[in-house]
């Protein structure tokens, strides 16, 4: 991740439309060749060329998951259930009244089920058929199998749309946010959470991988929202600095011109953070050791909590009670 050569990208920048990029890395965390570029004009980071076609990638994934009856392991339900509780806290006032909600990338359904049990009218969409079917059967959720572009819902259907750790996996985040903008009611709220490229709590080796086609920081995510007609009303950075959550609402005026979409200084800032995040410095911080002990205690507590496992619903009902 050292050579920041000027290069031409296969596709223009998804945020600002620029063709001016530098190479940030040439390998993924698995050591395989993966060219990661950064837009010199706004700081968006992406895999160029795309390492796979996201559609076939997730469809293949679903075929593997759907051999026979898919059923997530108890420890994974428990883990996702705890994440769901964290997300409920994060949403706070935005979910204190019953709402019509869309959860994009519903996964195993743990968060959508929590919302449903709180009295909200919840719809989900999930490309992985195994997960989608499981969440429908286990929790009685309304989940469509597919990608957001395929959703069968009229425009302006939802008060709240949540999209947790999905945008970075999509081949065109601008198209995805545009679609979500049309699905949202005029006074609705969109909540987007992604990992940030500025995170330094993970090993530097883990920064780039094939599944994350795009890497944002707060500035590029906010700017992408503005591009499609959103305004940020609130944001949160997780305690470990790994994730950013932005709350967007619809703006009266839409798309900005390319000049306004540039973010001066952002690329330099990101290149600096990435290049300074070395393995040597990382092991001088508390993060790797905290992570080790956290994982060890998690394994033990998960064993205890899932000993008398009956089914996913029972487990979540206990956790959410
Ligand atoms: Zn750009």
Q: Is residue 181 part of a domain?
A: yes
Q: Which residues pair with 164 in a beta bridge?
A: 193
Q: Is the peptide bond before 242 cis (omega within 30 degrees of 0)?
A: no
- DSSP letter at 89 equals H
Lowest mean pLDDT among 80-84, 115-119, 290-294: 290-294
Q: Are strands 184-195 and 243-250 parallel, antiparallel or unpaired?
A: antiparallel
pLDDT at res. 88: 97
Q: Is residue 37 part of a domain?
A: no
Q: Is residue 112 part of a domain?
A: yes
pTM over 0.95: no
Q: Is residue 2 part of a domain?
A: no
Rounded to the nearest angstrom, the distance between the alpha carbon of 17 and the centre of ligand 1 is 6
Rounded to the nearest angstrom, the distance between the alpha carbon of 261 and the centre of ligand 1 is 7
pLDDT at res. 308: 83
Rounded to the nearest angstrom, the distance between the alpha carbon of 26 and the centre of ligand 1 is 19
Rounded to the nearest angstrom, the distance between the alpha carbon of 178 and the centre of ligand 1 is 17
Q: How confident is the model at residue 158 (pLDDT cuts 50, 70, 90)?
A: very high
Q: What is the pLDDT of residues 248-281, one digit of tens each?
A: 999 866 566 767 999 999 999 999 999 888 777 7
| The three-state (H, E, C) secondary structure of 183-243, written as one string | HEEEEEEEEEEEEECCCCCCCHHHCCCCCCCEEECHHHHHHHHHHCCEEEEEEEECCCCCE
pLDDT at res. 242: 92
Rounded to the nearest angstrom, the distance between the alpha carbon of 63 and the centre of ligand 1 is 35
Rounded to the nearest angstrom, the distance between the alpha carbon of 57 and the centre of ligand 1 is 26
Rounded to the nearest angstrom, the distance between the alpha carbon of 218 and the centre of ligand 1 is 14
Rounded to the nearest angstrom, the distance between the alpha carbon of 44 and the centre of ligand 1 is 5
56 alpha-carbon distance from chain centroid: 19
pLDDT at res. 310: 84
Rounded to the nearest angstrom, the distance between the alpha carbon of 307 and the centre of ligand 1 is 50
Per the prediction, the chain carries an average pLDDT of: 88
* N-terminal to C-terminal alpha carbon distance within the chain: 47
Q: What is the pLDDT of residues 9-32, one digit of tens each?
A: 889 999 999 999 999 988 887 778
Rounded to the nearest angstrom, the distance between the alpha carbon of 278 and the centre of ligand 1 is 25
Rounded to the nearest angstrom, the distance between the alpha carbon of 191 and the centre of ligand 1 is 22
More confident residue, 257 or 300: 300
pLDDT at res. 254: 59
pLDDT greater than 70 at residue 231: yes
pLDDT greater than 90 at residue 238: yes
pLDDT at res. 63: 52
Q: Is residue 131 part of a domain?
A: yes
The percentage of residues in the chain with a pLDDT greater than 90, rounded to a whole number, is 65
Q: Is residue 41 part of a domain?
A: no
pLDDT at res. 220: 98
Q: How confident is the model at residue 203 (pLDDT cuts 50, 70, 90)?
A: confident
Rounded to the nearest angstrom, the distance between the alpha carbon of 108 and the centre of ligand 1 is 34
| Tokens linked to 157 | 């259907």
| Tokens linked to 245 | 């959550």
Total domains present in the chain:
1
pLDDT at res. 94: 95
Rounded to the nearest angstrom, the distance between the alpha carbon of 223 and the centre of ligand 1 is 10
pLDDT at res. 276: 87
CATH of the domain at 104: 3.40.50.150
Q: What is the pLDDT of residues 45-89, one digit of tens each?
A: 999 988 877 777 766 665 555 555 567 889 999 999 999 999 999
pLDDT greater than 70 at residue 5: no
Q: How confident is the model at residue 93 (pLDDT cuts 50, 70, 90)?
A: very high
- Measured from the Cβ of residue 256, the count of other Cβ atoms closer than 10 Å reads 15
**Arithmetic mean of pLDDT, 136-156:** 95
Rounded to the nearest angstrom, the distance between the alpha carbon of 16 and the centre of ligand 1 is 4
pLDDT at res. 9: 87
Q: Is residue 307 part of a domain?
A: yes
Q: Which domain holds residue 162?
A: 52-258+266-320
Q: Is residue 83 part of a domain?
A: yes
Angle, alpha carbons 124-94-165 (nearest 5°) = 45
pLDDT at res. 20: 96
pLDDT at res. 319: 94
pLDDT at res. 248: 98
């Amino acid at each position: 991740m050292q050579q920041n050569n000027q290069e031409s990208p296969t596709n223009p920048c998804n945020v600002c439309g620029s063709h001016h990029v530098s190479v940030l890395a040439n390998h993924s965390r698995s050591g395989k060749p993966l060219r990661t570029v950064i837009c010199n004009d706004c700081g968006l980071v992406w895999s160029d060329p795309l390492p796979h076609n996201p559609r076939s990638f997730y469809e293949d994934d679903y075929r593997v998951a759907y051999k026979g009856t898919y059923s997530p392991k108890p420890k994974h339900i428990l883990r996702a259930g705890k994440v769901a509780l964290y997300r409920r806290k994060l949403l706070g006032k935005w979910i204190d009244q019953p709402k019509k909600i869309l959860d994009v990338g519903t996964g195993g359904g743990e968060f959508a089920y929590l919302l449903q049990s709180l009295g909200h009218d919840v719809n989900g969409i999930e490309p992985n058929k195994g997960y989608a079917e499981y969440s429908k059967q286990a929790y009685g959720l309304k989940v469509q199998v597919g990608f957001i572009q395929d959703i069968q819902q009229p425009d302006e259907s939802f008060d709240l749309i949540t999209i947790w750790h999905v945008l970075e996996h999509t081949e065109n985040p601008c198209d995805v946010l545009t679609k979500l903008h049309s699905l949202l009611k005029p006074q609705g709220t969109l909540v987007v959470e992604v990992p940030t490229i500025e995170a330094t709590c993970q090993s530097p080796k883990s920064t780039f991988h094939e599944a994350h086609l795009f890497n944002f920081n707060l500035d590029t995510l906010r700017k992408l929202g503005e591009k499609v007609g959103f305004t940020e009303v609130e944001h949160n950075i997780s305690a470990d600095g790994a994730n950013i959550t932005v709350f967007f609402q619809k703006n009266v005026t839409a798309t900005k011109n390319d000049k306004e979409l540039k973010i001066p200084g952002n690329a330099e800032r990101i290149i600096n953070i990435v290049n300074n995040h070395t393995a040597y410095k990382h092991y001088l911080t508390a993060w790797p050791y905290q992570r080790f002990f956290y994982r060890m205690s998690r394994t033990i507590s998960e064993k205890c909590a899932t000993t008398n496992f009956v089914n996913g619903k029972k487990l979540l009902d206990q956790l959410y009670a």
